Structure 1
Amino acid sequence: MSKSTEYSESGNTIYRYSDRQNEWRPPAHGEEKWIEKIEDHVRQHIGEVESVFHEILSDVVHIDVHVINPTPERNYYTLFTTGMSFLPMNTPEGAEGYEYAELMICLPPDWPISQEDLQNPDHYWPIKWLKMLARFPHDYDTWLGWEHTMPNGDPAEPLSQQTEMSGIILLPPLEVDEDFLSLDMEDGRTVHFYSIIPLYSEEMELKLKHGSDPLLDKFEEYGINEIIDLNRHNTCIAE
């Protein structure tokens, strides 16, 4: 695998990765207590796990996607990973303490989520992205964290046929207690939780040119949070 580095107009680092060249490696075992601790944390702050999409064949880390159904209090699906935090990420200087992470995404209550529904790529892409991003740092010896963005290909294409959004940003979820955002594993390691939030190409461009602050200001102005709305307003286009 080769990795090239360049910088955006805002001075942020841009990494470009070639195809992974590492051979397949079986994942480590014995992480049951680690998973239970994450599940207990999510249960305490969000709700009960109703189902799990188990990974049948794993490479490097075993990534499962857990599903919390909509409730009157939280009327949307919450999907989160376990497995990304089984191994430390290769964080740079200045990001010490952020080596461990898990990801989540929130879907509207009418999202088709049965096994049959998920045969359709327009319905499956959130799970695909959770699994892909959770494995990405371990495949490429890198890291993912707060405000990191990734386009859907180069050039970027829409995430599905149902939206014009073509990339994602990782941000701490807003619709949770602050205590949810990190989990002390009581062995010196801390797991951080990030939401996958889709972006329009203009929003990606704004972040690359001017950094995250202007984009986050727009998100606050328009009330953008971690609950996916495929047709939400493009915050970089005037209404």
Structure 2
Amino acid sequence: MSDSPISSTPLGQDEPERTPSGAPIYRYENIEPAPFELANGDDATITAIADHIERHLGPVSGVYHEIISDKVHLDVHVVPPSADFPFYTLVTSGMSDRPMAVPPEANSDEAPPFAELCILLPSTWNIPADPAEITEAFEDENVYWPIRWLKMLARLPHEYGTWLGFGHTIPNGEDAEPFADNTELGCMLLLTALSLPEEFQTLEISPNKTVQFYTLYPIYREEMELKMEQGVNALIDHFEDYNIGDVLDLNRPNAALA
């Protein structure tokens, strides 16, 4: 299930129901994704995104490559903590190889068809520097779930003929179950990053292709419900009231209950 401020009905779905704030709700659990389609990736776009990351965020310490890719070839670029950015920044490349199915009534400036995703993890997160240790570390779902969701959401628009944009929420199941045993967070919210430079947020690949970089904010079920009732700006106001930022905090206060 996901919700968005502008209607774009996914493949095979009738006109969606709406939240009290007016945003449509899309349910994917009963919709079959499009058939498998092998993707090899766009080398020029991968290079452009990698250069963009290093220009604005710092050196990339590693890239998690896909072996076999469906619809789009998704890599995850890892920028380790630094003095300027004291957290891990994980950024996808490949989501923007294809345009999303943004509805025709949407303003292209507010709903760009090309996007990539980021997630910011605390400096203490288990991201092994030694490639030989990565497989073992990522067998622990308490470590891997942010990466799993980064990749899953980057592919979702191309699997279901839909789109993701600013203010969209995607819960972990109907009831926004906790992502893993180490947190009660259970829903992803797409916003722009507070902690990353404004210059990083967009990348012009060509005159007809500008990529928007959204950041995933893991949120609680009650925060998702507040957003659905009152809109994304109301939730952002609550975040500001309780000084909730964009770097993942497994045990942060619940802004809807604090």
Q: TM-score, normalised by structure 1?
A: 0.95
CA distance in 1, matches of 2:180, 2:146: 10
Deviation per CA, 1:87-118: give whole Å up to 9, x if none: 00000122425000000001111111231211
Gaps of 5+ in 2: 1-10, 129-133
CA distance in 2, matches of 1:194, 1:96: 15
Residues in 1 aligned to 2:196 and 2:78: alpha-carbon distance in whole angstroms: 16
2:122 to 102, 108, 116: 108
In the other structure, the counterpart of 2:13 is: 3
Structure 2 counterpart of 1:79 = 90
- Give the aligned partner of residue 164 of structure 2: 144
* Matched position secondary structure for 2:82: coil
In structure 2, the partner of 1:23 is: 35
Counterparts of 1:145 and 1:191, CA distance in 2 = 12
- 2:168/2:190 contact within 8 Å kept: yes
Secondary structure at the aligned position of 2:85 is classed as: coil
Match for residue 3 of structure 2? none
Partner of 1:3, secondary structure, is: coil
Give the match's secondary structure for 1:219. helix
TM-aligned CA deviation for residue 179 of structure 1? 1.6
AA partner of residue 94 (structure 1): A
Distance 1:178 1:70 in 2: 19
Give the Å deviation of 1:24: 0.9
Task: Tell me how far 1:38 sits from its aligned partner.
Answer: 1.0
Displacement of 1:125 = 0.4
Q: 1:10 to 1:78 in 2, by over 3 A?
A: same
Counterpart CA distance in 2 for 1:67 and 1:177 is 17
TM superposition shift of 1:223: 2.0
Q: Distance in 2 between matches of 1:96 and 1:28?
A: 27
* Gapped regions of structure 1 (runs ≥ 5): none
Distance 1:58 1:167 in 2: 25
Aligned residue for 2:38, secondary structure, equals coil
- Residue identity matched to 1:102: E
Q: Do residues 96 (structure 1) and 108 (structure 2) align?
A: yes
- Aligned residue for 2:70, secondary structure, equals coil
Partner of 2:58: 47
| Residues 1:224 and 2:234 are matched in the alignment | no
> Which SS does the other structure have where 2:200 is aligned?
helix
Show structure 1 runs of 4+ deviating over 4 A: none
Indicate the residue corresponding to 2:8 in structure 1. none
Count of residue pairs brought into register by the alignment = 237
Q: Are the equivalent residues in 1 in contact too, given 2:175–2:221 (CA < 8 A)?
A: no
CA deviation string 1:60-99 (max 9, x = no partner) = 1000111011112211111010000000000012242500
Matched, 1:67 2:87: no
1:125-148, Cα deviation, whole Å (9 max, x unpaired) = 011001000000000000001010
1:32 paired with 2:43, answer: yes
Q: How far 1:3 moved relative to its partner?
A: 2.4
- Residue 21 of structure 1: how far off its partner (Å): 4.1
CA distance in 1, matches of 2:196, 2:236: 18
Question: Per-residue deviation at 1:39?
Answer: 1.2
Q: What displacement does 1:202 show?
A: 0.8
Matched, 1:180 2:200: yes
Contact 2:186 2:220 in 1 (8 A): yes
Matched residues in 1 for 2:242 and 2:204: separation? Answer: 33
